[in-house]
Structure 1
Amino acid sequence: MASVVFSKSELEALLGRKIKMSELEETLPSIGIPVESAEKETLAVDITPNRPDMLSVEGIARAYSSFTGGKAKQYSGKDSGIKLHIDDSVIPVRPFIVGALVRNVKLDEHSIESLMQLQEKLHETYGRKRRKVSIGVHNFDAVQPPFYYKAVEPNSCSFVPLDMKRKITLSEILELHPKGIEYRIILEGCRKYPLLQDSKGQTLSFPPIINGELTRVTENTRNIFIDVTGTDANAIMDALKITALSLVDRGGELFTVEVIGREKLHTPDLEEKLAELPVEKINKMLGTEFSEAQLLKLLAKMGYASSGRKIRIPCYRADVMDWVDLAEDAAIAYGYNNFEPSLPNFFSMGQEKHSEVLEGKARELMIGLDFLEAVCQNLTNEKECFGKMLVEEKPHVKIKNPKVEESTMLRTWLPPSLLKIVSESRQAELPIRIFEIGDAISLEGNGVKEARHLACAIYDSKATFSEIKSVADALLREMGWEVDMKAAEHPSFIKGRAAEIVYRKKRAGILGEIHPQVLNNFGLEQPVALLELDLTSFL
């Protein structure tokens, strides 16, 4: 969830009436807005990811108004005559952009803070930390349309970014500016960077990184140009509507922008979609007997309007995709606490998943064989998974933007994890006998294969191939799996002291004594006998 902070006085100004704090604390959770804290005049609320339209006090006021009896808002925009051209060069980098102009906005310190909060919350949640959507708000009076969105060489253009006093190039922004350092991962591998300029060649924005100081929005700004870029055409349109309408709710006048690329469109698109109201389906889902009129009344509390027997979905509701969403909103409006619990009118019988049954049995057997269960992370690194184990690096799932060197990939097998635990526990009393049942993730062709493995290790001065083989024999016998074992060579094991487990003519596991060099790599002084089984092979 995203936390949104606002003052009660701001909400009252948008609603046009006074509200008691106790009323807010009671009503907001009923709308689906849990109140995290309410101190003096400031509220902090939690907004679920499916309601980006409520990531600002303006959106919350809009929802609160309709829920408490206000009329559903409808929005429209006039043609601004402004054109925004998309150059083909930017298509491979960040292909989509939309824009809007809001005139005659009256801003103060609180409204600017609300706008910036909305922008950042949309970036962090709906925009996937700017990768999917990034928003720029600009002082329109400082630039001259038409606008041009294109891709340029990193060192071919320079401008003064926000919160700096000198011009620097795009590549320098990624190295020197805090926002550039934070978000440069998005443009990693790009030979050219996206840029938004006006007809005079002045830079408005270097999306998705930073805006220019030229178009900084202040309390004196009256006309605001909004650009939204991204990788998802629908998502950027939703973000544009949410941002622009928050300014309209503060008294601004909305104007559309003509975006000219491979296709032409006027943005934002404020058309309300019409949807059928499936009364029978909704009642069946909710276990109710609402009439059509009752459902229309409930949905009106959630900001919907009706057109004949159809529902008009507000243009800012990006989350409404099917009748199920209408059913959910009807339930919220009715109040979850008002539903009477009842037993289902059908009989069903569940059963444990077959793979879970096998894992449970294997787990009990390992415990019976005097092993302690370990639980390891799926995240590891190439050095531990391959290097220390003396095996060649294989295709694997990498973490694109790892935060620590120890976690750069998903493990492809379990033995390195067990050896790491043994290494960290080597001062404990011997023998150390541990096992794990966990995930092993590998790449196969263009897909990812997830398998469940069982691995066990014995760390002791007397640990031998014979001992780990006896463990394998007992486990396989009790599980009822008839397998073949044959001598195998593996760089992680001592030559001549390793065996491959074959089930139905396919390799299903390996066991043996760990190679001395591997022991040395993990700082181990005693022998280790180890077994790994691919449980998925036995399903």
Structure 2
Amino acid sequence: MPTIDIEYKELEQLLHIELNWDMEKLDDILAYVKAEVKGYNKQDETVNIEFKDTNRPDLWSAEGLARALKGFVNSQQRGIKQYSIAKSEVEVFVSRDLYDIRPYIACAVIKEVHLSDAIIRGLMHLQEKLDQTCGRGRRKASIGVYNLDLIKPPIEYTVVKPHEVEFTPLGFTEDMTLNDILEVHPKGCEYGHIIKYNALYPMLFDSEGRILSLPPIINSNDLGKVTEKSQNLLVEVTGTSHKTVLNMLNLVVTMLIDRGGKAYTTTIHYPEDSNYGTVQKQEITPNFDNQHLQLNIEYTNKILGLELTSNRMVELLQTAGFNIEKTSITDIEVLIPCYRTDIMHQVDLIEDIAIAYGYNNIKPNWQELPTVGRAKQDQQLINHARDLMIGLGFQEILNTTLTNKETLFNKTNRPLTPHIEIRNPKVITMTCLRNALLPGLLEVLSNNQSVEFPQKIYEQGKVIHPDQTSETKTLEEEHLAAITTHPMAGFSEIKAVLDSFLSNFDVQWQIKQASQPTFIEGRTGRIIINGDQEIGVI
């Protein structure tokens, strides 16, 4: 489950409350977003927060966390937080050669943002969390942040041959080839496998040919280094999933707007007559448009077991950070903010309604049943048989229902009786379904010859026979088998076990001499009940 470290004072300022290091009170507030305090350090003034919900990346920063909690701590701040964005002149041109490598890009310009050391750490922390989770370890998408004042637009997103380009990666002081970066730089060693097998590598250049980054590996040390003095930023996200790229950009940009930055769009130019399909050839990013989702009132009450009115639902939705477009007798049209990338179905909205309502306020409604629950009669019989065998000193064995003909027939000299075989077995030890328990017990003994005597084991379980009259063409029966082995083991000992077992079921029985290839001649008997019904062998 994801965890984040945030500056305690920063969270208080963003929420406009004072908690005075009361972790119990903070825990109560964090419960609204399914999170809790895992630890804190008063000396460093940091709090470690763990999230139980892994599909809400909008929470993984102090800014996003405060945005999600504002409606719960202050009723005057309910609803969607609106973000405005202006148009910039920054353009990005995408090469058609990227389609099979890393085809999508989205960018935004942030101006007049005042960065502190804590904000930069939070930004880098969010970037890393998004890269690892939504970006699937940067394979699906990755984020880059640059000092815009050093960049000369337009920006070119293109491909290069690995041996043709050199630049100084972030954190280094000397130029390196792209292959050297993948072999030497820590980020190259960690993420180089994403691109190293391509003949061409993706690259970002400005209009003067200066390198911004080698996505998704590392920024350049010249243009991709952000400090507290940086006031104007360029944020880019590249990846293989168009939707993921756009979502991750929105999460980073809204965080920077919350820190006082002013956001501006960029224009992405995708190549004409290419494989990009439904993607607009001139795409404006980021896009903060709200999404619409219909919430059925009756369905919501059915799921929650409540009788909420539409007005009450509207109030709870606004507390959870949504806006309402319109309501009717049956439905509520809900506006989903751009940063809530986790909302896919009305069930997601119902969960937020339940959280805002308070799970502890939902009274349990115990289901009324006409009968008292108990085990079925045949299961009671099975349980009783198991208790008897354990009481007689036997240890239960649990073998798999799948076995093989070698164990089932050949090793025990059993005749080849009808059985069910697997058409395409994955391993040679599991090629058919067992139709007897005894071969499995003998195999257990053969594998445990080093264990001290006596060994007394039993198994109670299903055996399967072919049956053309049933729907599944099989017949399942519950069988029991037991073995005792030690130097003094004999017929009288196992007969005493059988007598004790059947007597507890008040069954009258007898033994009739039999011959069976598995056992030594003259030492085998058929177990007979009701005069002529054979139920087993001893």
TM-score by length of 1: 0.68
Which residue does 2:287 correspond to in 1? 269
1:328 aligns with 2:351: yes
Which amino acid is the alignment partner of residue 296 of structure 1?
Answer: V
Instruction: Select which of 477, 482, 485 maps to 2:419.
Output: 482
Which residue does 1:304 correspond to in 2? 322
Whole-angstrom distance in 2 between the partners of 1:278 and 1:154: 55
Which amino acid is the alignment partner of residue 34 of structure 1?
Answer: E
Which residue does 2:174 correspond to in 1? 166
Task: For residue 304 of structure 1, report the CA deviation from its aligned partner.
Answer: 0.6
**Contact 2:60–2:129 (CA under 8 A) maintained in structure 1:** yes
Instruction: Select which of 212, 219, 228 maps to 1:204.
Output: 212
Whole-angstrom distance in 1 between the partners of 2:116 and 2:365: 52
Instruction: Select which of 185, 192, 204 maps to 1:177.
Output: 185
1:101 aligns with 2:109: yes
1:364-399 per-position Cα deviation (integer Å, ceiling 9, x unaligned): xxx9xx9997xxxxxxxxxxxxxxxxxxxxxxxxxx
Whole-angstrom distance in 2 between the partners of 1:162 and 1:236: 22
Task: For residue 330 of structure 1, report the CA deviation from its aligned partner.
Answer: 0.4
* CA distance 1:210–1:347, change in 2 (3 Å): farther
1:9-33 per-position Cα deviation (integer Å, ceiling 9, x unaligned): 0112223443343332221123312
* CA distance 1:483–1:276, change in 2 (3 Å): closer
Instruction: Select which of 49, 54, 62 maps to 1:45.
Output: 49
Which residue does 2:309 correspond to in 1? 291
RMSD (Å) for aligned C-alpha atoms = 4.1
Q: Secondary structure at the match of 1:316?
A: coil
Whole-angstrom distance in 1 between the partners of 2:368 and 2:106: 50
* CA distance 1:436–1:189, change in 2 (3 Å): farther
Which amino acid is the alignment partner of residue 347 of structure 2?
Answer: V
* CA distance 1:500–1:466, change in 2 (3 Å): closer
Which residue does 1:34 correspond to in 2? 36
Which amino acid is the alignment partner of residue 355 of structure 2?
Answer: I
Whole-angstrom distance in 1 between the partners of 2:153 and 2:207: 6
Which residue does 1:246 correspond to in 2? 255
Which residue does 2:140 correspond to in 1? 132
Q: Secondary structure at the match of 1:189?
A: coil
* CA distance 1:306–1:345, change in 2 (3 Å): farther
Q: Which consecutive residues of structure 2, in runs of 5 or more, have no partner in the other structure?
A: 272-280, 328-332, 376-389, 434-442, 444-463, 467-472, 475-538
Which residue does 1:237 correspond to in 2? 246
TM-score by length of 2: 0.68
Whole-angstrom distance in 1 between the partners of 2:307 and 2:421: 63
Which sits farther off after the overlay, 254-263 or 244-253? 254-263
Whole-angstrom distance in 2 between the partners of 1:339 and 1:327: 14
* CA distance 1:207–1:466, change in 2 (3 Å): closer
Task: For residue 454 of structure 1, report the CA deviation from its aligned partner.
Answer: 4.3
> What fraction of aligned residue pairs are identical, expressed as a percent?
35
Which residue does 2:451 correspond to in 1? none
1:414-448 per-position Cα deviation (integer Å, ceiling 9, x unaligned): xxxxxxxxxxxxxxxxxxxxx974xxxxxxxxxxx
Q: Secondary structure at the match of 2:35?
A: coil
Q: Secondary structure at the match of 1:5?
A: strand
Q: Which consecutive residues of structure 1, in runs of 5 or more, have no partner in the other structure?
A: 353-366, 374-434, 438-451, 457-464, 486-491, 494-498, 504-512, 514-534
* CA distance 1:502–1:327, change in 2 (3 Å): closer
1:66 aligns with 2:71: yes
1:469 aligns with 2:410: yes
Whole-angstrom distance in 2 between the partners of 1:145 and 1:265: 17
1:226 aligns with 2:235: yes
Which amino acid is the alignment partner of residue 86 of structure 1?
Answer: V
The correspondence of residues 135-534 of structure 1 with structure 2, limited to 5 A, is 135-214=143-222, 215-262=224-271, 263-309=281-327, 310-344=333-367, 437=400, 454=403, 469-471=410-412, 473=414, 482=419
Which sits farther off after the overlay, 186-195 or 161-170? 186-195
Which residue does 1:428 correspond to in 2? none
Which amino acid is the alignment partner of residue 121 of structure 2?
Answer: E
Q: Secondary structure at the match of 1:256?
A: strand
1:243-262 per-position Cα deviation (integer Å, ceiling 9, x unaligned): 01100000000101111104
Task: For residue 500 of structure 1, report the CA deviation from its aligned partner.
Answer: 11
**Contact 2:402–2:432 (CA under 8 A) maintained in structure 1:** no
Which residue does 1:527 correspond to in 2? none
Task: For residue 42 of structure 1, report the CA deviation from its aligned partner.
Answer: 2.1
Which sits farther off after the overlay, 28-37 or 213-222? 28-37
1:8 aligns with 2:8: yes
Task: For residue 324 of structure 1, report the CA deviation from its aligned partner.
Answer: 0.8
Which amino acid is the alignment partner of residue 61 of structure 1?
Answer: A
Whole-angstrom distance in 2 between the partners of 1:90 and 1:349: 66
Which residue does 1:358 correspond to in 2? none
Task: For residue 221 of structure 1, report the CA deviation from its aligned partner.
Answer: 0.3
Which residue does 2:489 correspond to in 1? none
* CA distance 1:343–1:36, change in 2 (3 Å): same
Task: For residue 322 of structure 1, report the CA deviation from its aligned partner.
Answer: 1.4
Whole-angstrom distance in 2 between the partners of 1:300 and 1:250: 23
Which amino acid is the alignment partner of residue 238 of structure 2?
Answer: T
Which residue does 1:412 correspond to in 2? none
Q: Secondary structure at the match of 2:253?
A: helix
Task: For residue 155 of structure 1, report the CA deviation from its aligned partner.
Answer: 1.1
1:81 aligns with 2:99: no
Whole-angstrom distance in 1 between the partners of 2:229 and 2:319: 36
Whole-angstrom distance in 2 between the partners of 1:280 and 1:484: 51
* CA distance 1:152–1:288, change in 2 (3 Å): same
1:318-356 per-position Cα deviation (integer Å, ceiling 9, x unaligned): 000111111011011111111111134799999x9xxxx
Q: Secondary structure at the match of 2:115?
A: coil
Whole-angstrom distance in 2 between the partners of 1:87 and 1:347: 70
* Dislocated runs of 4+, deviation >3 Å: 344-350, 370-373, 452-456, 465-468, 470-474, 499-503
Task: For residue 453 of structure 1, report the CA deviation from its aligned partner.
Answer: 5.1
The correspondence of residues 113-132 of structure 1 with structure 2, limited to 5 A, is 113-132=121-140
Which amino acid is the alignment partner of residue 219 of structure 1?
Answer: E
Q: Secondary structure at the match of 1:213?
A: coil
Which amino acid is the alignment partner of residue 136 of structure 1?
Answer: G
**Contact 1:67–1:303 (CA under 8 A) maintained in structure 2:** no
**Contact 1:137–1:217 (CA under 8 A) maintained in structure 2:** yes
Whole-angstrom distance in 1 between the partners of 2:339 and 2:61: 13
